[in-house]
Structure 1
Amino acid sequence: MPVYTCTAAQGSLTSDLKARLAAEITRIHADINHVPPAYVNVVFSDLPADSVFAGGRPATPLILTGWVRRGHPQEEATRLALELSSATARISGVDESRIMVVLQDSPARSAVEGGHVLPEPGEEREWLRRTEA
């Protein structure tokens, strides 16, 4: 259901770090938004160092963007962003001052996974039952 993209300069994240980050992003999202871990998608985008800037200057930020279904309580969305930022810093070794987490949302009905329109938050069990049948 959710899609997270972690963007960093090439070479700043090893394969092991990517695997650990993906596992922790998945765990945090599944715990807070009550979805099965199998439905959390994490992709990595490695850009050449000369393609990453902050403040108009070459930089090495780590940017985590995520798409989530609209309708989760704001307190949970804020908690999700904060926990993702902290975990990303802890695992990657990148100072949290260089990490940006942005969560974007849209209605569940605007997304399709596995040929099925996504459920509204709170309707996951029924959706899973219908899609697994």
Structure 2
Amino acid sequence: MPAYEVEHVCPLTDDQKDRLASAITKIHSQQFSAPKLFVNVRITDVSGQRTYVAGKQIVEMEKLIRLDEQYKSNRIFAYVRHGPSRTQSDYDAVSKALTQAWEEIVPGTELRLVMFYGAIVAGMEAGFSIPQAGDDKQWIEENMDAFKKKAEEGDEHFRELVEEYGR
């Protein structure tokens, strides 16, 4: 349901990418009660892209910073379902948790931006219409038989979802 876009300029190992994806999934799932199966994360190296801040290319800005510091523009964009059940403090808590996870997994670098876009109004994923924000538990209950069927047919992701919700 949510789509997290991690853009990094510092080098990341495959292990760091895997750990970031796991951390993002866990943080979102715990804060918003979304099934882990439906938390999508894409990690992209953007070190070769031209990035601008205040209308100036970042390379130009680096000249303004002390020589022993390296300007980093690692960032996470989150496209989520927004609704009345999700408050500013919820998003702040997720932002802080994501920043802490970044600092633990990629020490010595800065996660400069975490930005939420409440842009998802409807859609389908894995053949299921996505619920409104805050309706995940009811949606899981309503679709559990179909989830179990997919699990029984050998879909490992749905087996994990059924295990996650203890049914």
1:57 corresponds in structure 2 to: 58
- Report the secondary structure of 2:12's partner residue: coil
Partner SS for 2:116: strand
Whole-Å separation in 2 of the counterparts to 1:89 and 1:107:
28
Contact kept? 1:64, 1:100, Cα under 8 Å: yes
Runs in 1 of length 4+ with deviation above 6 angstroms? none
Work out whether residues 24 and 87 of structure 1, in 8 Å CA contact, stay in contact via their aligned partners in 2: yes
Which residue number in structure 2 is paired with residue 78 of structure 1? 92
Instruction: Show the 5 A alignment for 1:3-82.
Output: 3-9=3-9, 12-47=11-46, 49-53=47-51, 55=53, 56-58=57-59, 59-71=71-83, 72-82=86-96
In structure 1, stretches of 5+ residues that fail to align are none
Checking the alignment, whether the CA contact within 8 Å between 2:81 and 2:133 is kept in structure 1 is: yes
Post-superposition offset of 1:114? 2.3
Distance 1:81 1:51, change over 3 A: same
Note if contact 2:79-2:120 (Cα within 8 Å) is conserved in structure 1. Answer: no
More strand by percentage: 1
Measured after TM superposition, the shift of residue 67 of structure 1 is 0.8
TM-score, with normalisation over the residues of structure 2?
Answer: 0.67
SS in 1 for 2:76: strand
The amino acid across from 2:5 in the alignment is T
Specify whether residues 88 and 15 from structure 1 end up closer, same or farther in structure 2 by C-alpha distance, changes over 3 A only. Answer: same
Please give the alpha-carbon distance, in whole angstroms, between the structure 1 residues aligned to 2:134 and 2:89: 16
1:120 to 124, 132, 151: 132
Secondary structure of residue in 2 paired with 1:69: coil
Name the residue aligned to 2:163: none
Displacement of 1:107 = 4.9
Q: Aligned letter for 2:6?
A: C
CA distance in 2, matches of 1:94, 1:25: 19
Please, what is the CA RMSD of the aligned residues? Answer: 2.1
Amino acid in structure 1 at the alignment position of 2:81: R
* Unmatched segments (≥5 aa) in structure 2: 60-70, 147-167
Indicate the percent of aligned positions where both proteins have the same amino acid. Answer: 26
